[in-house]
Structure 1
Amino acid sequence: MFNHPAVSGVFSMRTGVRRVFAVALLVMLSACGGGHDTPPVEPALQTALAGSINSDLFFTSSQTHAGYRLNVYVPANYASTSDRLPVIYVLDGGPDNGIFVPMAHIAEGVGVRAVIVGIGGFATRSTDYRYPGLNPYYAFLTTELMPLVESKYRIAPEQRTLVGHSYGGYFAAAAMLLDRQGGHTFSNFIVMDMATHEQGGPLADMERAMFTATGGKLPGTKLILSGDTAGNAKDVDAFDRMISARAYQGLELRHLPTTSYGHVEMINPAYKESLRLIFKQ
């Protein structure tokens, strides 16, 4: 269920953007590796958001028995329009991490008009995003959180995107494998520098189960992979090989060029290019 913290019922955009942008700026300024200069701070991240963010939402799950703080971004003209919008679910995107506001800026900068939902729980990510905890977390996401969010916001259910990085990238990959076994909750999956590590076995088991369940057909599915040499590029490459070997019909698989920005620093450029590919911007 949604709860509202007693401290504040209204999100301060000025304070929130300044605080989280400072974190993102420090991350980007530290992005030097592999012979590359520090990438410039994108102009889209230096301006005020046109849309708005509600960061006062809290959800307690009966599946994982944990609580999650949320960020929900809506475009500037959301209140004056009535159309249903694509929705982007961002793992590690709650107020307890610093990636959400830059992601909202990037979406605005590339012209993607969507509701963006950032899911917190940074303290429980090593359980939620890994096997076997990813099973109850997937149930929480698809049977608890998403139905409630989408009852409160105008969402186009055929245009759901899931975004994950590192352990979150592992979960996003696993979520695709689980999702196609029993339905079609998400259309798009953005998997950034996924940390498979010792959990390649469960991932392979899920992939075999998906292939059996679908007969090798994944219509209406887009999968965007990206990795970094300073992070988990080898894990991303291995997942690509496993999926590509099946030649799934209907799957649009894109593997972005491997970067050398750094494990964290690659998030913004990978996310930006992934949005362009998915939404044809």
Structure 2
Amino acid sequence: MNKLFFSILLSAMLFGCGGGGGGANVNEGDNVLSQKKPQPYKLDSTEIASSITNITYKLDIYVPVEYQAGGAPLPVIYASDGQWRSNSYKGILESSGVSAVLVAIHEGPKSRRNIDYLTPGVYDYYEFLTQELIPFVESEYSVLPTNRTLVGHSYGGAMSFYSMLIADPNRSYFDNFVSADPSVADTETLLKLEEERFHLSKKMNSRMILTGAMKGGNGPDVEMAYAYMQNRKYEGLNITLIKQDVTHDHSADQTFKDALPLLFP
């Protein structure tokens, strides 16, 4: 299906899409962090060598300063592009008052994200996340295996979206997917992955927060992808679209800020 046909099809869907089936369509600013007490976080820097991708990834792992090993388990957030987003995400998390473990994954060698976050490399990257990174983190930190979130922006946002689609329907590693102004203009890839997933199972017990930057960003493509997913009517899929009055580059931090009160009310 070419992009022109996809655009015509999904433009029609947008007019008929009422945001049902567990989804919502909200504007930026509708979701404001509740007035929780800010709390400081501390950094643990380490790295992990993947035998799947053959890449060594630097990790910035942030935990609340009051976190105690072996204490009450916390939700865990895995965020791509740690080389750019690590510090700002940490600051947003501190201001939010949310208690969670943040694992910011650097891309590895420069431009490795162009391989890991897109097809076909995303298949190996997803296996690295689920078979190597998650076991490593959960062996070192007290986190909730039932409350894992995967966050990405741009190519990383596409990676988060794709990861939801290529996940085994019978083995869900991530409960929440946050896709910030994802690069989903390659509609043939998105439709191929979704079609394969749809034929495997029409159940998708996942929460997705999808944002589109409307100031020259990927907003129109994101709106169409949202409409397409909504009209598939997956059982158990809760998808929220947030249209943001920001540029593509500013969407990453804005999305993280918007997502926290939705994921951790």
Encode CA deviations 1:117-146: one digit per residue, 9 max, x unaligned.
Answer: 000116200000010011111111110111
AA at the equivalent of 1:263? H
SS in 2 for 1:250: coil
When normalised by structure 2's length, the TM-score is: 0.80
Inter-partner Cα distance in structure 2 for 1:180 and 1:223: 16
Q: CA deviation at 1:270?
A: 1.6
When normalised by structure 1's length, the TM-score is: 0.76
Whether the aligned pair in 1 keeps the contact of 2:69 and 2:141 (CA below 8 Å) is no
In the other structure, the counterpart of 1:31 is none
In the other structure, the counterpart of 2:257 is 272
1:263/1:114 Cα in 2 relative to 1: closer, same or farther (>3 Å)? same
Whether the aligned pair in 2 keeps the contact of 1:90 and 1:164 (CA below 8 Å) is yes
1:201/1:67 Cα in 2 relative to 1: closer, same or farther (>3 Å)? same
**Equivalent residue for 1:119, pick from 72, 96, 105:** 105
- Is 1:54 the counterpart of 2:60? The answer is no
AA at the equivalent of 2:51? S
In the other structure, the counterpart of 2:27 is none
AA at the equivalent of 2:44? N
**Equivalent residue for 2:220, pick from 234, 249, 259:** 234
AA at the equivalent of 1:232? N
In the other structure, the counterpart of 1:195 is 183
SS in 1 for 2:204: strand
Of structures 1 and 2, the one with the larger relative CO (CA 8 A, separation 6+) is 2
Encode CA deviations 1:25-47: one digit per residue, 9 max, x unaligned.
Answer: xxxxxxxxxxxxxxxxxxxxxxx
Whether the aligned pair in 2 keeps the contact of 1:67 and 1:121 (CA below 8 Å) is no
Encode CA deviations 1:11-69: one digit per residue, 9 max, x unaligned.
Answer: xxxxxxxxxxxxxxxxxxxxxxxxxxxxxxxxxxxxx97120112x1111111111111
User: Which sections of structure 2, spanning at least 5 residues, go unmatched?
Assistant: 1-37
Q: CA deviation at 1:173?
A: 0.1
- Is 1:255 the counterpart of 2:241? The answer is yes
Inter-partner Cα distance in structure 2 for 1:60 and 1:81: 25
Inter-partner Cα distance in structure 2 for 1:89 and 1:119: 7
- Identical pairs, percent: 35
Inter-partner Cα distance in structure 2 for 1:107 and 1:76: 13
Q: CA deviation at 1:84?
A: 0.7
In the other structure, the counterpart of 2:158 is 170
SS in 2 for 1:71: strand
Whether the aligned pair in 1 keeps the contact of 2:48 and 2:133 (CA below 8 Å) is yes
Q: CA deviation at 1:182?
A: 4.4
**Equivalent residue for 2:123, pick from 99, 118, 135:** 135
- Is 1:92 the counterpart of 2:62? The answer is no
- Is 1:245 the counterpart of 2:231? The answer is yes
Q: CA deviation at 1:234?
A: 2.2
SS in 2 for 1:159: strand
Inter-partner Cα distance in structure 1 for 2:54 and 2:86: 24
AA at the equivalent of 1:279? F
State the Cα RMSD in Å: 2.0
Q: CA deviation at 1:222?
A: 0.8
